[in-house]
Homo-oligomer: A and B are copies of this chain.
Amino acid sequence: MTSTERSATPPRKTRQRAEIRSAVEALDGFATSQDIHDRMRHDGSAVGLATVYRTLAAMATAGELDAIRTPDGQVAYRTCSPGHHHHLVCRTCGRTEEITLPGLEAMVRTIASDHGFGELDHELEFFGICGSCSRP
């Protein structure tokens, strides 16, 4: 489910795309398109907001970034390791840890087929308070 997407034409290499990529890679946790746009601005990089939105969405679709939806509804991106995994996100500082739940995936398939559901997809993110934020 991650290797069958063949985009006819790879995206063109532009200054904007390169700058967006390095901005995203410089992050620790998740950040929204606007966060990234602001950060780039602050660092002297001039890229249109619409381009940041478009590019991040495209990179996520291509599997180069992970996208989550924050509790208040915004979409946030982060570079991530290949392969399926989930995240443990600090509600306070945004620090993110990648986690895998070996047992979960099988569990999911079983339950889904028990209910006759197919083409299953799941969205699982954990939100908590990280160590540094709970005891400063």
Per a CB cutoff under 8 Å, which of B71, B117, B123 touches A88?
A: B117
Copy number in this complex? Answer: 2
Q: Determine whether the beta carbon of B127 is less than 8 Å from that of A120.
A: yes
Chain A residues proximal to chain B, CB less than 8 Å: 69, 71, 73, 75, 88, 90-91, 97, 99, 101, 103-104, 107-108, 111-112, 115-131, 134
What would 30 A/B residue contacts be, using CB atoms closer than 8 Å?
A71-B123, A73-B75, A88-B117, A90-B117, A91-B119, A97-B115, A97-B117, A99-B111, A99-B115, A101-B107, A101-B111, A103-B103, A104-B104, A108-B126, A112-B128, A115-B130, A115-B131, A116-B131, A117-B126, A117-B129, A117-B131, A118-B129, A119-B128, A120-B127, A120-B128, A122-B127, A123-B125, A123-B126, A123-B127, A124-B124
